[in-house]
Chain A
Amino acid sequence: MESSPSDISPVDAANDLAILEQARSSVALNPVLDFGPLWYAPAFAATAMGISLAGRVDGAVTSAVFLAIGVIAAIAVSFHGIRNLGVLPRTTAKSVLAFVPMLITMWFVFAAWGTAVSTIGEDDFVPFWAALGWVLTTAFFVVVRQVVTAIRDRQPSLG
């Protein structure tokens, strides 16, 4: 005997479909909303930019070396961290779009540092500006962390 729609009370189809959608969203968004490995690269690169300011004391070459070390460290730590992520999302429009805020943040940090570097002359007390820049960058990423954590907490839980 066939069951009719009235027989389906044990199955909540709407809820089950919502569970599937939440599962897809969590996989696409969680790696970005966790302030973890994927954020290490911009954080490291921003710190390297700060160190490169201190390097300007000895000239552009030292500055470039600091920056290169910072970027290489950022890439290495990021790859190591990504390998330790518990999930490797499939490449979907949603998972790619999730990176847009991160890219905007990176651009903002780089632009801010670029502006700071260009406004500092050789006669300025560069280490002070570098230390101040590092503090500002740290404060900036603390704010970013609060924001992404708040966004993540608003995501519906699967548990």
Chain B
Amino acid sequence: MSNLCIAGREFQSRLIMGTGKFASGELMATALAASGCEMVTVALRRADLSGKQDRFATILNFVDPSKYLLLPNTSGARTAEEACRLARLGREATQSSWLKLEIHPDPRYLLPDAVETLKAAETLLKEGFTVLPYIHADPVMAKRLEDAGCATVMPLGSPIGSARGIETRASIEIIIEQATVPVVVDAGLGAPSHAAEAMEMGADAVLVNTAVAVAADPVRMAAAFKAAVDAGRAAYEIGLAPKRREAEATSPLTGFLNEK
């Protein structure tokens, strides 16, 4: 299977994992290992100053930056300005200039703000960030971000954490057809079959978090997603059988018992 190449860096795994919502750091670390992923997202928040550090306080103790490429995100940003601020903090905090740029002002659907995202991307690219933007499945927006110099485009399948799968299929197909940077389907993938579908369509990678983190057994679910991503990619590289409107017999059409 071919490697994934983003901004000149090669990855064997086409599954990118989010680190949110796991019941414990240990469970997250085991699930990440089972997923085979090489890149993981992290968020940035204010430190707890009450003296009692919460369970997320030491996430970098559970994610070894020499093993995983850290992708700090800008979740919580509602404007380009807030996203740029988080990006700069994230770079210093993780020592990684790779960035998942996400700007979603509406907490109900967490849909990305295209105008602010493009504005932030242009600023951050000038500052040397490797920008992986989370976007709606909008082929025009994808092109604009690619032209600006983004390393990937990451269209959503359905809203973050919704587990509804790829509801934006037709638009993602156009994005894949036109893109010259890797296309990562991010958000809404609730089942391994959704991840396989994205890969069969020709997506270069998928980003999964909730579906693994909230599973009854996140470690087995991580392995299930890994298998699905590998299967989907293999099928894409091989090429799927053409679709037909009518049946085409798979068994011989001669030698029937009722033949005269």
* Chain A complexes with chain B: no
B residues neighboring A (CB under 8 Å): none
